Structure 1
Amino acid sequence: MNVWDYVEALRARWRMIALATLVVLAIVGIWTWASPRTYNASATLLFDLQQADPVSSNSGGGAQTKSAALLGTQADIIRSVFVAQRVVGNMGLDRNPELVERYQKSGSQLPIREWIGRRITSPSALEILPTRNTSVLAVNYKSEDPELAARMATAFAEAYVQTQLQLRIDPARVYSQWFESQIGEARTRLEQAQARLTRFQQQHGLVGAGRFDIEQAQLSELTQQLTTAQAEAAQAGAKAGSNVGGSADAQQSAVVQGLDGQIAGKSAELQQLRQTLGPNHPLIVSANAELAELRARRAQAVGTAVSAIQTASAAAGAREARLRSLVQGQRERVLRLSGVQDQMAVLQRDVDTARNAYDAVTTRLNEVRLQSEIPLSNVSLLDRAVPPALPSSPNVALRVLLGLLAGLFVGVVTALFLEWRNPRVRTVGGLVSLTGAPVLADLNRGPRLLALPASGAAS
């Protein structure tokens, strides 16, 4: 038999092939009808990876890597027994009489909530799937009851949101309590450091951190005054030398110069009188007496000027000595302050360090207090699960398709087997190959002329 014989055999036995297909489809239908139906409900969670913390200023980088790692971690948290126990408590499954009876019969040492939680988180029931290239997680739950599947999927999503908020708030509350205990110690250290600095300043007569600069400025000012006083004392000492009476300052005194003018005038008058009068004339005697009196008054005026110069020189020397003493005392004070300046700087740094630590603890305490009071997390329930209308298992369409293909395969194989066991001539080619005789006409296909052998061959 050639290929066309088998094709004709299949066409001839199409009823049997169709019957075999229907039988297989009927078996698949019965199997599908008898199979338990499983419904898959899905709730979705949205993660806001770009959400800024309203309290702290921390920001993260690497959004893609962070997203993948975060979603994987959160999927494990949703599948955890901790979340499952919250689901059990929220749904009241630990008060379900049937589950309580099964728990008692199991004799388990686990708490009932943990025992039930481990069973409702089986991989065949709970499935967490991330949505590609998004920050969304799908919480799928499978059950034979569509209502139960929807409630469980939503319950797991809500329990995870509550757990996420708890995981965010509880550490903040613990940190808040710890910082509250630390803030007292920080305040005590600050007060002790400030007390040491104040006591040190009082012991050494320091008003503030800038006292050393003030003392140095005073030393510089006193040094300048001493330099000026030394110059003035030298000048006054030079004036009050051995020939102080003939000094310019003594001779240029206003009183001395006035008397010099009177003496010059009286001398000129006496000279004129001498030209006309004798030496014993009363006018000459009176003029000599007046001239002598004027000269005596001049000598007295010069003595007074010399005394003033000597007094000024002594005052300048005394002022120089006083300023030298003040400069020496101020220099010693500055040297003493320079010795304690480093110690005061160390104490001041201790105060600054304690103040910075106290401010840091206070700031962080305020932050964690706000974090423990703000009901905020970066995950939210995007969609609640709804009871599915169609089961996810069994897959009716897939089973029908496979049953159709299997039925066709069984029917074709059966038809070919029967044809092989009981072959029939169904085509011209099959007849020629079987008998070797030429075929003149094919009555099944209607009358037509066939090619005859050549005349030589007919004869």
Structure 2
Amino acid sequence: MNSSIRPDRTWPPMPSNDDDPDYVDLKRIWNALWSRKWSIIALVVVVTMLTTLAVMQMTPVYTAKATMMIETKSDQLVAFQRVDDNSRTVNEYMQTQLGLMTSRGVAERVVRELNLTEHPEFDPRQQDEPLIDLRGMLSRAKASFLGDDLSEAATPLTEAQIMDAVTRDFMSRISVGVEGKSQLVSIRVAMADRLTAAQAANELGESFIESQLEAQMEMSMSATSWMNERLTELRASLQEAENRLQAYREQEGLVDVDGVQTVSANELSLTGDRMIDARRQRAEAESQWRQVQASKDQGWERLASIPAVLGHPLIQQFKAEQARARSKVEELSRRYGNRHPAMEAARSDLAAATASLRGQVEQVIAGIERNYQLAVANENSLRNSFEANKEQIQDISRKEFRVRELQRDVESNRQLYETFMTRLRETTATQDLNTANARIVDTALPPARPSAPNTKLLILIAAFVSLIAGVAFALISDILNNTFKSTEDVESNLNLPVLGIVPLVARKQEKQVPHLFERGDDLRFCEAIRTIRTSVMLSDMSRPQKVIVITSSVPGEGKSSVAANMAFALSQLQRVLLIDADLRRPTLARNFDFPVGTPGLANLISGTAKVEDCIQTVDSQLDMLTAGAVPPNPLELLASPRFAKFLERVKDRYDHILIDSPPTQAVSDAVLMATHSDSVIYVIKSESTSISMAQKGVGQLLQGGASIVGVVLNQVDVKKAAKKGEYSGYYDHYGYSEAKA
């Protein structure tokens, strides 16, 4: 069977802008908010009124403010130190002072000074018991579970417990802070009693100053006590050091270590100089001695040629005499013979000169040896003397080091003792002159207006939050509402044309819906049915629309009412037969008041009744065929050849045959009857039918080869749609007004 769906449409539907994650449908958001505007407004009004009532029941709280200046102390008027950025140090100092100001000790002083333990706002004994004391219930239940005596659990509070509770309550009402980058600190106390709040703020500042003074006094007294004890220890240490120094001097017999050390040093210096000369002399004597020792075995003539011997004056003199004697012998030998008396006398003189020279050489050699031995002995003697002097000086140095060590110990103990003595005197003299580093600049005055609750702000916040909650609820409801709300939803999700919309009728007319077109009571409804009739007749001009099946997704969408009114609309132009094929839940006989037991389609197919008996004439051009007796096997009856033959027989008698079919998601009868029809009209209830369910039903029909001519959007709230701008002026151009409707 040919399909009436336009060839440019495909199944499933093509994705629209709604499938784009970046697409935001502002119109849909606005419509969702506008459709639920009264709910949002009601929520805002209710929440605002409840908040107003709650705020009006709150006890006003007054905040008293006192201003205090905290100065940083400096021990030095002029400090020649490196200039650094001390902003961080000052900030840490101010934070420390703020912490001290809000400490428990200061709060307890204020509580005691103002006797807040008996103030009705703080005293737990004077406060009203809550309607539901959960803490008390839990305490009693715990005591009962543990087997404790309930009389002990109900013991009244002690003074310490009351003081602790009042102090903690008072501390929770205190707020302090630095004003800008100054040294001014604001002290705020919030209470229901504005006079007590001002007194508490002022007393908090005074208590802080007094606590600082007392802390300084305690520190001074503690420091004085400690310094006295330390001074006694230092005095004993100094005395002990002096005794050790004196004992050591007496033990070593030291009178003037510096003088002894100077004399010894001079002696050591002279001995050193002499030892250097002796070493040089010994080296010279040793050199001559070694020359002599090396030439001793070569004869005395060789010894006479040694520079040390040769340079001796006597050796030179004897050398000269020997040379003259030899010259004389040589001269006489040229003149006389060897036996000449003159020659013999000359040789005798030469021998005597040589013997004298030899003797003198031996004496010089002996003198060199003696000189060497004396030089060695002298050097050794001086070395021993030097070592002795050096040992003496080292011993003196060791004693000097020990003396100086003892003197340093004495001096350090004396300096420390004097420093502590000076500091003790200063502390003792100034311990009563301590000044506080804080002073109150502005005292707190009783506030004229409460600081809390901020009625306007709370109401505005409640209204704003409720508005946001209402908007969020509306948007979430719209997102979760996966139904058809407009023709655009139908066309974008089902890819089918919308034949028309059927407006929502008033509640009092619900039972008369099948007769509205017949009677013409609702002109707007009648015009909608005519529009659907025209759309059906013009949907496919190439072939007649003889057999038309009208179905829906689930029961209750108004398909039977649409079928009845469509039958009356078509009967104004042509001959029409309306068949109630919903054999499980028939409605045609009941809606048109046919007698009980009237034969219908089930009787006709089963052969228990004739066609003339089953078809009921309602109008000149409109006949109806009810469902008849409800059979046990509706699907088998509709699938029998008798049903198809019946349709072929009546096609010649009628121009249009409308079949009221069961819903597609309830049974498969609609798919079966669609095979015998020329087209199918799918009815969808506005804002009720699920999109997924309608898609499933349409898909089943298309898979069965049905030709779906279009969709009727039923029970549309036209007023709401017109306000959304979707159907504005839909009926005005026909000359009908809403008042007439």
Kindly indicate whether the alpha-carbon contact (under 8 Å) linking 2:257 and 2:396 is maintained by their aligned counterparts in 1: yes
Which blocks of at least 5 consecutive residues in structure 2 are unaligned?
A: 1-26, 35-40, 127-153, 270-388, 469-715, 736-741
1:181 partner letter: E
1:112 to partner: Cα distance = 5.3
**1:25-36 correspondence runs (5 A):** 31-36=54-59
**1:78-117 correspondence runs (5 A):** 78-94=101-117, 102=125, 106-108=156-158, 110=160, 113-117=163-167
Report the number of matched residues: 311
CA deviation map 1:131-168 (0-9, x unaligned): 33333332221111111111112222221222223333
More deviation in 57-66 or 163-172?
57-66
1:352 to partner: Cα distance = 1.4
2:401 partner letter: D
Report which structure shows greater RCO (CA 8 Å, sep ≥6). Answer: 1
Give the aligned partner of residue 729 of structure 2: 433
Partner residue of 2:180 out of 124, 129, 132: 132
1:214 and 2:249 matched: no
Kindly indicate whether the alpha-carbon contact (under 8 Å) linking 1:81 and 1:114 is maintained by their aligned counterparts in 2: no
TM-score for both structures, normalised by structure 1: 0.52
Give the aligned partner of residue 380 of structure 1: 439
Give the aligned partner of residue 392 of structure 1: 451
Give the aligned partner of residue 346 of structure 1: 405
In 1: Cα distance, 2:261 partner to 2:447 partner: 90
1:30 to partner: Cα distance = 5.2
Kindly indicate whether the alpha-carbon contact (under 8 Å) linking 1:170 and 1:372 is maintained by their aligned counterparts in 2: no
Partner residue of 2:417 out of 349, 358, 365: 358
More deviation in 160-169 or 195-204?
195-204
Kindly indicate whether the alpha-carbon contact (under 8 Å) linking 2:261 and 2:396 is maintained by their aligned counterparts in 1: no
2:104 partner letter: V
In 1: Cα distance, 2:42 partner to 2:118 partner: 55
1:69 partner letter: E
Kindly indicate whether the alpha-carbon contact (under 8 Å) linking 2:722 and 2:728 is maintained by their aligned counterparts in 1: no
1:345 to partner: Cα distance = 1.6
More deviation in 112-121 or 18-27?
18-27
In 2: Cα distance, 1:407 partner to 1:111 partner: 42
1:178 to partner: Cα distance = 0.9
1:217 to partner: Cα distance = 5.3
Q: CA RMSD for the aligned pairs?
A: 5.2
**Residues 384 and 373 of structure 1, relative CA distance in 2, 3 Å threshold:** same
CA deviation map 1:393-441 (0-9, x unaligned): 12134256568879999xxxxxxxxxx98949999x99971335299xx
**Residues 35 and 58 of structure 1, relative CA distance in 2, 3 Å threshold:** farther
In 1: Cα distance, 2:730 partner to 2:433 partner: 94
1:189 and 2:211 matched: no
In 2: Cα distance, 1:424 partner to 1:98 partner: 56
2:182 partner letter: T
Kindly indicate whether the alpha-carbon contact (under 8 Å) linking 2:124 and 2:162 is maintained by their aligned counterparts in 1: no
Instruction: Write 1 or 2 for the structure with the bigger share of strand.
Output: 2
In 1: Cα distance, 2:165 partner to 2:260 partner: 81
Aligned residues: percent identity?
A: 22
Kindly indicate whether the alpha-carbon contact (under 8 Å) linking 1:197 and 1:348 is maintained by their aligned counterparts in 2: yes
**Residues 118 and 189 of structure 1, relative CA distance in 2, 3 Å threshold:** same
2:730 partner letter: L
**Residues 112 and 205 of structure 1, relative CA distance in 2, 3 Å threshold:** farther
For 1:198, what is the secondary structure of its paired residue?
Answer: helix
Give the aligned partner of residue 168 of structure 2: 118
TM-score for both structures, normalised by structure 2: 0.34
Give the aligned partner of residue 88 of structure 2: 65
Larger Rg: 2
Give the aligned partner of residue 208 of structure 2: 160
**Residues 94 and 57 of structure 1, relative CA distance in 2, 3 Å threshold:** farther
Give the aligned partner of residue 151 of structure 1: 199
1:53 and 2:349 matched: no
In 1: Cα distance, 2:109 partner to 2:84 partner: 32
**1:236-385 correspondence runs (5 A):** 337-338=396-397, 340-366=399-425, 368-369=427-428, 372-385=431-444
In 1: Cα distance, 2:50 partner to 2:118 partner: 43
In 2: Cα distance, 1:129 partner to 1:341 partner: 65
1:37 to partner: Cα distance = 0.6
**Residues 127 and 21 of structure 1, relative CA distance in 2, 3 Å threshold:** same
In 2: Cα distance, 1:399 partner to 1:101 partner: 29
More deviation in 24-33 or 61-70?
24-33
1:348 to partner: Cα distance = 0.9
In 1: Cα distance, 2:397 partner to 2:42 partner: 116
1:213 to partner: Cα distance = 3.0
